[in-house]
Chains A and B, each alone.
Chain A
């Protein structure tokens, strides 16, 4: 059996992980985060008692050891203050949450990019693998032309709000699009972009992120990709419909070689290799048979 492909967590999974306000470490589970905080940040250095919060530790220190707690142990710079009451993920200021999410996002896309460069695999959501794979439509040329004609008529009559066919042609938006953008907190609640608007670009946070929804694909747009907003001029529309038909016609054959090429060349050894001389011709040239060859 072949090795199971490693599943890398997607961005949403990474963003959902609980993490520690004091040291930015993230954890599988909230319970583990809380026990981490009790052990690393809320533990009394005198008696080893683990308290639930920084405030609790402060009270314990004053009452039991008659000492004043100045800052939280093992905290990164600027986070050691006692003014904020932290328990697990509760009490973390929103701006710090956004800052953390932004870092996770940046790291995620940097990782994905690095992995893409290292393996040559398409980034998540950019290929046709997995959940975004559309079932191959088995339409005859007539059916496509019929659909195209219906679309033209409907379009001319203003019946259709927006072309269904074209919307289907767009790859399903990758799951990435729905995560709460940290910057969006400025104008909109996380995840709630105004309809139709392009999500704000995260400034400087995503170096060379491939596969982002707002980024156009590399090279020329695929023949089936239509301008989504605004009615395209009539000529463009027919031209792209022709492209659509042509694309549908050649799709099955065009897919196969691409798939072949993406497969990695394994360490293989051909028992026989030649471009033009067949094994029989090689045999015929051997001394034991060459004497019978006619010239």
Chain B
């Protein structure tokens, strides 16, 4: 018996899930990208278990996907080095740019009409969509692992634990200018955690961001460089399990902020999704363990739904997929479910 308000999609990808994304103007339109070389488009509420509207085949595993300017445009990033635009109505795909290694993330910023892709070739590509075929390159010091943005800032987490924060305004200007963009990051930070950064996610109120590491830990930081704001940053342990006096520490694969309440969800290799209140430093709730690693989480724009992509991570080198381990779960949140609790004090 599945918990109330939670269901799984009926037609799931056949290989691990790399990303789930809700449409900006609809809380039932969901994109899923997968290692099975497809991008899936669902209407999650059309029928029980959701309806698969269409799937878009790619030449290589798809590592990330995002919606573009409207409900009918998407962008994908893949192991074949390409950044693609997908017309969700006609199914037409156009390559926008080619990196020199796999493309890990794509992000579309609505206020700045800017598409950013981040790759293992240690570059960002900026795409000004009004100039098709044009893109600008920004060199990074290391492979990009995670990309996220708030209304004004873009945060890139990289391999050597460094984190660069760019101003989207400047990036948008550079993209319009074209060519090799020479945009310096607004801030260069080192991760406050000792281990590799796994995911970053920005607070919807533009105040800061959360980052997670492969060593069961999440850090919350603020953009404001003042001493006062920086002293507020903290990190905490999560997604761990004690087995016979040994702590099994899972990577925290996914982070997503709730667009309305400003709380955030973390998903770990232990198959657990937890909701946290970043301000009061409290865990709000933790959901029942999923049968495999939680790879990706996204809240719908109105904050009423959360989608969770669950699949084995193959971190241990084995690539055996147990039956039913690859699934997208959708949860309908009650009004107060993701709301932060007031501090007890």
Contacts and interface: CB of A to CB of B under 8 A. Distances in A.
Contact of A270 (B16, B142, B214, B227): B214
Nearest to B161: A275
B315 A276 contact: no
Nearest to B316: A271
17 contacts: A268-B248, A269-B249, A270-B214, A270-B215, A270-B249, A271-B249, A272-B214, A272-B251, A273-B195, A273-B215, A276-B160, A279-B198, A281-B102, A282-B315, A283-B314, A292-B60, A293-B80
Contacts of A141: 227
Those 6 A-B pairs whose CB atoms lie nearest each other, nearest first: A252-B231, A292-B60, A272-B315, A268-B247, A276-B159, A272-B251
Interface string B119-145: 010000000000000000000001101
A280 B214 contact: no
Nearest to B60: A292
A9 to B, nearest CB: 30
Interface string B87-106: 00000000000000010100
Contacts of A273: 195, 214-215
Of the candidates A138, A141, A272, A281, the one having the most CB atoms from chain B within 10 angstroms of its own CB is: A272
Interface string A260-295: 100000111111111110111111101111001110
A267 B245 contact: yes
Contact of A275 (B37, B196, B231): B196
Contact of B80 (A272, A283, A294): A294
Given A270-B214, A280-B63, A281-B120, A292 B18 contact: no
Of the candidates A260, A270, A280, the one having the most CB atoms from chain B within 10 angstroms of its own CB is: A280
A284 B230 contact: no
Contact of A274 (B37, B61, B196, B247): B196
Interface range, B side = 35 or more
A271 B159 contact: no
Q: Label chain B's interface by main secondary structure.
A: loop
A63 interface: no
A237 B197 CA distance: 44
A252 B79 contact: no
B47 interface: no
Contacts of A274: 196, 214
A252 B222 CA distance: 15
Contacts of A267: 245-247
B324 to A, nearest CB: 19
Contacts of B314: 279, 282-283, 286
A193 B192 CA distance: 48
B16 to A, nearest CB: 7
A283 B16 contact: yes
Contacts of A283: 16, 35, 313-314
Nearest to B80: A294
B246 A271 contact: no
Contacts of B192: 256
B179 interface: no
Contact of A271 (B37, B143, B315): B315
Interface string B1-31: 0000000000000001010000000000000
A253 B230 CA distance: 8
Nearest to A250: B227
A126 interface: no
Given A271-B315, A279-B251, 17 more contacts: A138-B228, A141-B227, A268-B240, A268-B249, A269-B247, A269-B249, A270-B249, A271-B250, A272-B214, A272-B250, A276-B159, A276-B196, A280-B102, A288-B319, A289-B60, A292-B59, A292-B61
A286 B317 CA distance: 8
A205 interface: no
B329 interface: no
B35 A289 contact: yes
A293 B79 contact: yes
A123 interface: no
A141 to B, nearest CB: 8
B269 interface: yes
B224 to A, nearest CB: 14
A249 interface: yes
Given A272-B315, A283-B314, A292-B79, A249 B246 contact: no
B316 to A, nearest CB: 7
Nearest to A138: B228
A281 B250 CA distance: 17
Of the candidates B142, B194, B247, the one having the most CB atoms from chain A within 10 angstroms of its own CB is: B247
B20 to A, nearest CB: 15
Contacts of A275: 196
Given A270-B215, A272-B269, A294-B80, A278 B249 contact: no
A282 B61 CA distance: 13
B257 interface: no
A293 B59 CA distance: 9
Given A270-B249, A286-B314, A288-B319, A278 B159 contact: yes
